[in-house]
Structure 1
Amino acid sequence: MSKFLLFGLVFTLLRCIPVVGRTVGTLSDLDSLLGCMSRVVSATRHVVQEKVYLHFDNTGYFMGEKMWFTAYVVRADGHRPGVRSRVLYVELLNPGGDVVQRRKLKIDDRGHAHGDFSLDSLYGTGFYEVRAFTRYMANWGGAACFSRVFPVFHAPSTPGAYEPVMDERSYRRRLPDFREPDTLHRSRLNVSFYPEGGRLVSGLRSRVAFQVSDGGGRHVSADGELLDGEGRVVGRGFSDSTGRGVFTVPASCDGLRFRLRDARGRFKEFPLPESSSEGCVLELPPSLDDSLRFSVRGTASYRDRLLGYMLMNYGRVWSCDTFRVGSGYHKSYLRDSLPEGVNQLTVFDGRGRILCERLFFLFPKPSASDTIRVTSETARLTPCGKVRLRLHAVPGSVFSFSAMDGGTVFNGRGPSVKSWMLLSSEVKGYIEDVGYYFESDDSVHRRASDLLMLVQGWRRYDWEELSGYRSRNPEKWHPVEDMLYITGHLRSLKKSLPVDGIPIKVYVYSGGSYTDGEMLTDSAGRYAFSLPDVWGEWNLQLKAGVNKLKSRYLVTVDRRFGPPSRRLSPYECRSLPFLPSYLPLLPDTLEFDTLPLLSLSERLHKLPEVDVKAKRRFTEGARVAWATEKRGQYWADVYYDCDEETERYLDEGKEIPFFKDWFMERVEFADLNNLPFFLGIDVKGALTPVELAVAKDTLVKERGSLSDEEEEAEAVANGGECKDEDYLGRYKGHPIVWILDNVYAGGGGKLAMKVPAGAKTKKNDVSFPVFLDEAKSVYITEDPSASTSYHYPPFAEEVATVFVYSHGASTRRIEKGVRRTYFQGYNVPSTFENPDYSLMPPMEDFRRTLYWNPDVRTDENGEAIIEFYNNSSCREIHISAEGITPDGRCIFNK
């Protein structure tokens, strides 16, 4: 906050005193309002939020590629560098919302970090989400985090033959869904209402925005009528192509409902939100001139009360004052006197309670200093030829730069650094075509931005928390990670055992390096250790200093700060409109057609054959090779890392579950309720006769008899053979075939044919994992042919195959009071490799991202030179350059 702004705010607060002197009121009313204003000013200065934006090297990807990105972390109050956080988390989520990769990056003094994801280990194509956040950002939920969705296509069948092809997902082949549930119970036609100011008040006229959508969440354009309790039309409204619209609610109408006609021509009525009997309403319509006006009206009980209003811009208090509603309070500003972007207008009482509130958007005026200009010093593109570019931007600026093969770009650019920082990060949900709101400041665009603010306005800054009206639970507050930390808490398995003042010892080691420390837990059992900068994965051991009672304690670790996976809009799960952004370079057709290129096969060096003197069917490492996970990976539609799943339970202070219980909870479409006894025991020989008799008696007492599967399990345990029907759970209604360490372990249901007993595939004689930590990984496929290599004869029904890979040992004991796990230091970013064809002959080169530089710097004249080599087929180059200057200006190429 500038000194000028602070002086203006103090002057405004002092100016409130004579206002009260001219009205009938008490000094306590003024004191309360000034106290609220002061607390908000203090809170916004000391609790400064953070924002992050990621710039990527491309707009879409193919499996097997790398995704490169640069992160810009800034203060939310002005978008300048200077954040205290030094740890950034970047996660890649699959289409179902499960985190498949995570990066932990160091934020430098400029607020920059860069990294990459390898897309060579994904299980299926689709729309993948990338989100980024600091631990401190997690205090404000998922809406405060960066998020962007990318299409990931199948790798080309032949090198260079790029086609934007994805897996077709039907209901039958749907993936598990770990995203937040849709709170709107959708039908064919749905309407959500958003009263301006936040609520309807009986007896006061109000504007109400609305959003119309179909059962899939897509926008619906429709005409609607507002009906009163007697069915008379008292207002009308229509939704535009975004599904948004607005209508006015009369002052004296009860039992209001909104009637729409669906696509089938049928009418459907929707009741409006309930109205309050007392309160105030706020009206700020989009203006067509250079002024901005708002008005406040209230019921009788509020007309003579002293109230306050405050105008905030990105967390900075811009203006505030006191007023009385009377017959209606009106205030106007010149638009040029207000800050650009998203503003928050709040009307409040002396307790700090919000009476009405809304967001509004003021068009940011474009400036030449916002632009990164790119000019080419290369006349024509040639295969594997050198490209030299001159970049022009603000002197001393730092930004990231990408050059793409225009012929392999299959998706639009998406949000820019400017549209994200100034708009997307301040509203809730996905904004379709966010660049539209930055095109013009005419009446059409003003109306569109007004509807956007009314429908998707999210309060990044909770005014009632800032004013002290409502407090936040300090135990759920995430601290600023200004360096690497190990934090967690000690959990006692018995409530009578203390958790405060317990010594916690920590050991962090890798190779020949280590560090250790010791501290006492606080009153809540929490601990925290700071670490110097370390890179990569380290071994971590935490030990509670309670030797006699350590079996009654669990040590948790805090490292899962990501918010719940948000539900994606159908509009971000599609390819974006393609907007050209290219260099004025023409390809040299002659050279493209005639230049000899080395093929891929010519670049491979074939090893000479080895003369084998003798052969062995099995080597010492054959069992290890057979148990590798490549076979499960080959077939997999869904993958679970059981080691990571185990760590998640322990991090949350929970006991390690049975494998079956975990599988039932985690795998959305699985049904293991009819398993004999429970999965995790090799039935044959695993139970003693006494144990078998006890288990049988227990089941008979509970249910009266054994099921067919349990009768068979008893026979197997007593040395008998399985029948032709072997059901061990179902997945989406289909029998599961269990493959343990690449060997058939049971299941599959009825056989397709009768075969001699000796010809039928026998089950694996290795015990199934009993507890989750005994399993290493799980792969699931719905391809019915996956099981044919593991079992004969084939099964009569269509089956699902579950590959389970174990650690090759019986139950791994977890020592209570001691936690042996890992600590993830900063991830080391990869280096983008640029071929130098001045040192090698031209060859087949199918790079889609021709050049990526996360750290381009302009000199004192605002210029930078970039040089790289073209691939063997690019005829049009697309450029993307983005950054943020030290004074908070967003710069990008247009």
Structure 2
Amino acid sequence: MIGLIRKWDNLKSLITLSFLFGWCCQTLAQTVCAPSALDSLLGCMTRVVSTTRHVVQEKVYLHFDNTGYFMGEKMWFTAYVVRADGHRPGVRSRVLYVELLNPSGDVVQRRKLKIDGRGHAHGDLSLDSLYGAGFYEVRAFTRYMSNWGGPACFSRVFPVFRAPSTLGAYDPVMDERSYRRRLPDFREADTLHRSRLNVSFYPEGGRLVSGLRSRVAFQVSDGSGRHVHAAGELLDGDGRVVCRGSSDSIGRGVFTVPSSCDGLRFRLRDARGHIKEFPLPDPSSEGCVLELPPCFDDSLRFSVRGTASYRDRLLGYMLMNYGRVWTCDTFRVGSGYHKSYLRDSLPEGVNQLTVFDGSGRILCERLFFLFPKPSPSDTIGIKSETARLTPCGKVRLRLRSVPGSVFSFSAMDGGTVFNGRGPSVKSWLLLSSEVKGYIEDVGYYFESDDSVHRRASDLLMLVQGWRRYDWEELSGYRPRSPEEWHPVEDTLYVTGRLRSVKKSLPVDGIPLKAYVYSGGSHLDGATVTDSLGRYAFSLPDVWGEWNLQLKAGVKKLKSRYLLTVDRRFGPPARRLSPYECRALPVLPSDLPLLPDTMEFDTLPLLSLSERLHKLPEVDVKAKRRFTDGARAAWATEKRGQYWADVYYDCDEETERYLDEGKEIPLFKDWFMGRVEFADLNNLLFFPGIDVKGALTPVELAVAKDTLVREGGGLSDEEEETEAIANGGECQDEDYIGRYKGHPIVWILDNVYAGGGGKLAMKVPAGAKTKKNDVSFPVFLDEAKSVYITEDPGASASYHYPPFAEEVVTVFVYSHGASTRRSEKGVRRTFFQGYNVPSTFEMPDYSLMPPAEDFRRTLYWNPDVRTDGKGEAIIEFYNNSSCREIRISAEGVTPDGRSIFNE
């Protein structure tokens, strides 16, 4: 037996640095004497420098084996977790979460991976249980990253095509009736109320100030979020044209607002002649503006202007690069403050320039991008030692990179690549991870340092600049409560909170025991909750899913306490850009291998069927019996899975409620809240379902009272429900519930359970439809899963007469007995240890004859290491039809350099 580490205090030590923001603010407040302006500014600078050194953010990048996938395949990946300040390994987190989200934003798969000492982790996601093609999002984060929300996490969108109808017949069919029509949208709402023509304004420095001239960037889009090229005019309050500005090919532009900026509006005219006017953001009466125009020489210049109240005040500015303070100073605005630097003296990549006052409040701020100079050491060189490709033949490659480097490598069949390459490790770490939203053609900003690219990067920073480091939090002006922070997981933890139903009940100092067990192994430990009811247990490295039991020592008050588990800290599903939900252009192959057409045409291949060995047939004579095993096979979820467009894991849904400290809801209430397109007519139960004995007398009385509407009397459907609640059965086949306007047919454990609307013809006298001998789930935890399909053929085998209109079939699978009748004050759930990564498998054609082979990813290695000379040898076997190989190799060196193949 291995004991769990006890006490919440053990975890506290890991998040002490995370509370530094609040501590800085308290230190400032405890100052006895009013500090001078200089002392205040220096204090802000000191706190920012100290915090950025001790509270270091993390970044993660995922390198994948392919650029697009088919349903039924595996998605292989390697994760590189680095410090945000310099992109070097050395993070403290050791637990990485990788999630697969369907197009509507639901998490359909999760992986928990162990991060090694180099910051590496690798794993895979299986695409064999998806319920439709479409654009799926993969995101990755540590628990510590979630403190900064979704923009701090890795995210990439992939096309997932329909599975081939026959083996090897890869056809990139998306079938995008997809989730747009079948699933509700759980992604973040679009904050822009879109019309045919829309524009968003981004004042340089963050705000407009009355009486001060400033530049304003803008983004023009249509109702679907696509870019619009449009010409615009800035009008004053009298309708006179002040200046003009037009957007580029991706809808971005910039114009200058004069010093008198009250009542201004921007009039746009798109290519179709549509005209619309938009008011500018309301200006501030006092403040400062920052101007940093794109420079086309060797210098970088910025200026600060302020209103009268700021001209004689001592202010400060600070330049940060990926969270590292590069330079800072104090100044007075006067008639206008100007500062210039040589570009070569500034750090490359994304920089953050902040102007602030003595309290730590931001007066103006913006990001700018300096082109990172390419280096030959960034490239992973690949040389083929195989002159010609042959079916199932060996391919030998010699790779050259930084000596002692470690990177991941993928070889793909070029003929089955239907999506271009996305962001590289360099473009993600240096640019994509520092801005908000999706960057189209992110590689463009790394092509050149000429005036055209500088202007484009300046617009990108103005429009999409996201502050990874919130300066006002760093300075202590707006500290975050320590309770809001997620800890650094340097090992596996079970954390949560003991909550009381009544506020008067104490939650501090409550003894708590934990038991974690799987098979013949078990762990246990005890602790005491802190003043807020929090608890924590640390575990050694465990793999796979374990049973978890938590027990609070509250004796007679057990029913008044709830035990939650912290595992729902993933960021909200972000809104996807229409430009990342499309296939990227595929560029020519980069591997100089010459295929030999004659060899491909003439080499005999062993078919898949010939590779199977048949055993001699044996005749067995016996009477066929309907066994319990056959009944169990019929009751499995495969029928629902076969038809399903939508799937809900009710066990997972139940755990989510309990993790949030909520009571388990009624199944009907959950269904109405979770399934956006469902309407169950405000009834408590469904017709045709015998729920006798499912409720207590008190609950029956409440159910009856709920059904009585104002004015008295019950409708036919309400009388049916009342009869059911009293133990009877409903004979009428009228529907209860609709989905997208269609009647719902309820299938419980693969047996028709009611609904479906009016029948096309009445059931003959004496005829009976099939009834289920298992009570329909009353509470959510009594259900195991729900599958929904709009295919009218799904319910064809579950009723005798046809329905009069198209129906939607809902398959409900139950546990067969209520699971909510458990011991009070005890939480029984599961604990997910590290997921065990699968091993990439490849046929060895040195031991077997050539055969039909349809691998799209020919070879995947998450851990390639170069020797002291910087070389590594890769060997793998071709498939039976590949004539063009595409290579992808990426990694991060110990000193923070991104390495990749061109």
User: What TM-score, normalized by structure 2, do the two folds share?
Assistant: 0.94
Equivalent residue, structure 1, for 2:26? none
The letter of the residue matching 2:404 is G
Measured at CA, do residues 159 and 827 of structure 1 come closer, stay the same or move farther in structure 2, by a change above 3 Å?
same
Distance 1:257 1:172 in 2: 36
Q: Distance in 2 between matches of 1:318 and 1:680?
A: 72
SS in 2 for 1:749: coil
Structure 1 residue corresponding to 2:115, chosen from 101, 107, 118: 107
Task: For residue 454 of structure 1, report the CA deviation from its aligned partner.
Answer: 0.3
- Equivalent residue for 1:71, pick from 79, 84, 105: 79
Q: Does the Cα contact within 8 Å between 2:353 and 2:365 map onto a contact in 1?
A: yes
**Correspondence for 2:661:** 653
1:874 to 855, 864, 882: 882
AA aligned opposite 2:425: V
- How many equivalent residue pairs? 869
User: Match of 1:407, as an amino acid?
Assistant: G
Structure 1 residues 188-245: Cα deviation after superposition (integer angstroms, max 9, x where no partner): 1111000000000000000000010101000001000000001000011111111111
* Residue matched to 1:267: 275
Structure 1 residue 414 corresponds to structure 2 residue 422: yes
Aligned residue for 1:592?
A: 600
Q: Retained in 2: the 8 A contact 1:659–1:679?
A: no
CA deviations 1:452-488 (Å, max 9, x no partner) are 0000000000000001111101111000001111100
Residue in 1 that maps onto 2:352: 344
Q: Does 1:741 align with 2:771?
A: no
| 1:399 aligned onto 2:368 | no
1:649 is aligned with what amino acid? Y
2:152 to 131, 144, 156: 144
Are 1:642 and 2:650 matched, yes or no? yes
Contact 1:262 1:268 in 2 (8 A): no
- Alignment map for 1:356-505 (pairs within 5 Å): 356-505=364-513
Q: What are structure 2's unaligned runs of at least 5 residues?
A: 1-33
Name 1:258's counterpart in structure 2.
Answer: 266
Cα offset, 1:405, TM superposition: 0.2
User: What CA distance in whole angstroms lies between the structure 2 residues aligned with 1:700 and 1:121?
Assistant: 44
Q: Distance in 2 between matches of 1:686 and 1:859?
A: 69
Other-structure match for 1:802: 810
Partners of 1:702 and 1:546 lie apart in 2 by 44
Q: CA deviation at 1:790?
A: 1.1
Using the TM superposition, give the Cα deviation of residue 792 of structure 1 relative to its aligned residue in structure 2, in angstroms: 1.7
The alignment status of 1:524 with 2:563, answered yes or no, reads no
> SS at the partner of 2:227?
coil
Q: Which residue of 1 aligns with 2:866?
A: 858
Partner of 1:201: 209
What is aligned with 1:583?
Answer: 591
Name which of 247, 259, 262 aligns with 2:255: 247
Distance in 1 between residues matched to 2:326 and 2:345, nearest whole Å: 10
Aligned to 1:17: none
Q: For residues 578 and 689 of structure 2, what CA distance do their matches in structure 1 show?
A: 44
The offset of 1:722, in angstroms, is 4.9
Shift of 1:812: 3.4
Q: 1:527, CA displacement in angstroms?
A: 0.4
1:686 offset after TM fit, Å? 6.4
1:325 equivalent among 321, 325, 333: 333
The secondary structure found in structure 1 opposite 2:181 is: coil
1:173 to 2:181 alignment? yes
Aligned mate of 1:87, from 95, 104, 110: 95
Q: Please say if 1:58 is aligned against 2:66.
A: yes
Equivalent in 154, 157, 173 of residue 162 of structure 2: 154
Matches within 5 A, 1:520-669: 520-669=528-677
Query: Which amino acid in structure 2 is aligned with residue 291 of structure 1?
Result: S
Which residue identity does 2:749 align to in structure 1?
D
Residue 97 of structure 1 corresponds to: 105
| C-alpha spacing 1:159/1:694, structure 2 compared with 1 (3 Å) | closer
- State the distance in 2 between where 1:550 and 1:708 align: 43
The question of whether the paired residues in 2 share the 8 Å contact of 1:680 and 1:769 is answered with no
1: CA distance between counterparts of 2:111 and 2:863?
Answer: 19
User: Which residue of 1 is the match for residue 14 of structure 2?
Assistant: none
> Which amino acid counterpart does residue 317 of structure 1 have in structure 2?
V
CA contact under 8 A between 2:124 and 2:838: conserved in structure 1? Answer: yes
Deviation at 1:620, TM superposition (A): 1.9
- Which AA in structure 1 matches 2:176? E
Distance in 2 (CA, whole Å) between partners of 1:686 and 1:206 is 69
Distance 2:723 2:517 in 1: 51
What stretches of structure 1 of length at least 5 have no aligned partner? 1-25
Q: Which amino acid aligns with 2:240?
A: R
**Partner SS state of residue 127, structure 1:** strand
Per-residue CA deviation, residues 311-348 of structure 1 (Å, 9 max, x unaligned), is 00000000100111011000001100100000000000
One-letter amino acid of the structure 2 residue matched with residue 740 of structure 1: L
1:99–1:171 CA distance, 2 compared to 1 (3 A) = closer
Separation of aligned partners in 1, 2:527 and 2:696: 48
- Relative to 1, partners in 2 of residues 1:766 and 1:348: Cα closer, same or farther, differing over 3 Å? same
> Offset at 1:698?
6.2
**1:214 partnered with 2:208:** no
Q: Indicate which of 677, 683, 686 corresponds to 1:675.
A: 683
Contact conserved, 2:228 with 2:270, CA < 8 A, in 1? no
The Cα offsets for residues 739-788 of structure 1, whole Å up to 9 and x where unpaired, read as 00000011100112234144452332421001111100000111111110
Q: 1:95-124 CA distances to partner (integer Å, 9 max, x unpaired)?
A: 111001100000000000000011111111
> CA offset at residue 135 of structure 1?
0.3
Structure 2 residue aligned with 1:817, among 819, 825, 843?
825
Aligned residue in 1 for 2:56: 48
* Residue from 203, 221, 226 that aligns with 2:234: 226
RMSD: 1.9
Deviations 1:549-600 (A, max 9, x none): 1121111111122100001000000001212243111111111001111111
Name the SS for the 2:147 alignment partner: helix
| In 2: Cα distance, 1:113 partner to 1:690 partner | 54
Q: Distance in 1 between matches of 2:89 and 2:603?
A: 48
Percent identity among equivalent residues?
A: 90
1-side partners of 2:95 and 2:727: how far apart? 58
Distance 2:663 2:402 in 1: 56
SS state at 1:33 partner:
helix
Q: Could you tell me the TM-score, scaled by structure 1's length?
A: 0.95
Give, as a single letter, the amino acid of the residue that structure 2 aligns with 1:475: E
1:669-695: per-residue Cα shift (whole Å, max 9, x none)? Answer: 111134365689625786899997885
**Secondary structure of 1:448's match?**
helix
2:482 alignment partner AA: P
What residue is the counterpart of 1:889 in the other structure?
Answer: 897
Q: Contact conserved, 2:688 with 2:730, CA < 8 A, in 1?
A: no
Relative to structure 1, is the Cα distance of residues 611 and 809 closer, same or farther in structure 2, using a 3 angstrom cutoff? farther
